[in-house]
């Protein structure tokens, strides 16, 4: 009887922990904007001539690594965007969109000599990534709430 009671208490504690994590996950607006800006800069930087366009991506990638470290320090954890559940679809959709804009911009720049297309692509990527970042957070919180019962 105590084993069933212990298991029930453990499940309840796990549910309570998920609810607490969901409550702590309210990311400030500036963090959503920073992620969107970094993604937009990676696309827009392709407007620069080679090899400057490659060097322009490096600071953005480093900033993303620092952002992950900051989130781990601030929250005590970092959640991978490709985790199972609703968040995976948000992350994959965003990845496909950004990659399509990036490669399409590069193709237009190289094939048609339209050097400013990647800059316009970055302008388009910013609001879409900003929306996706908020949507990802909402999906993650919904997954946690559903798992908590």
- The 10s digit of each residue's pLDDT in 121-141 is 999 999 999 999 999 999 988
Say what the pLDDT of residue 13 is.
82
What is the residue-wise DSSP string for 56-105?
Answer: HHHHHHHHHHHHHHHHHHHHS----TT-SSHHHHHHHHHHHHHHHHHHHH
As given in the structure block, the two tokens for residue 84 are: 């199972």
CA gap 6, 133 in Å, rounded: 38
Residue from 133, 121, 115, 117 nearest 71 by CA: 133
**Res 2: pLDDT:** 65
**Residue 141 CB coordination number (10 Å):** 19
Residue 7 has pLDDT above 80, yes or no: no
pTM across the whole model? 0.85
Q: pLDDT tier at 145 (50, 70, 90 boundaries)?
A: confident
Domains of the chain, residue spans = 2-148
pLDDT digits (tens, 9 = 90+) for 45-82: 999 998 898 888 889 999 999 998 998 898 777 777 77
**51 three-class SS:** coil
Q: Judge contact between 145 and 48, C-beta under 8 A.
A: no
DSSP element (H, E) containing 41: helix 29-44
Q: Examine the pLDDT at 1 and tell me if it is beyond 70.
A: no
Q: What value does the mean pLDDT of the chain take?
A: 88
CA distance 58 to 77: 24
Report which of residues 74 and 96 the model is more confident about: 96
């Amino acid at each position: 009887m105590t084993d069933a009671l212990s298991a029930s208490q453990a499940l309840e504690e796990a549910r309570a922990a998920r609810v607490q994590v969901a409550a702590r996950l309210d990311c400030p607006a500036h963090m959503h904007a920073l992620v969107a800006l970094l993604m937009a800069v990676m696309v827009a930087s392709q407007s620069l001539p080679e090899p400057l366009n490659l060097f322009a991506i490096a600071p953005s990638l480093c900033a993303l690594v620092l952002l992950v470290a900051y989130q781990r320090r601030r929250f005590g954890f970092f959640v991978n965007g490709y985790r199972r559940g609703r968040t995976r679809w948000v992350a994959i959709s965003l990845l496909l969109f950004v990659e399509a804009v990036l490669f399409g911009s590069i193709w237009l720049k190289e094939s048609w000599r339209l050097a400013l297309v990647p800059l316009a692509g970055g302008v388009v990527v910013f609001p879409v990534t900003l929306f996706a970042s908020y949507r990802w957070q909402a999906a993650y919180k919904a997954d946690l709430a559903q798992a908590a019962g």
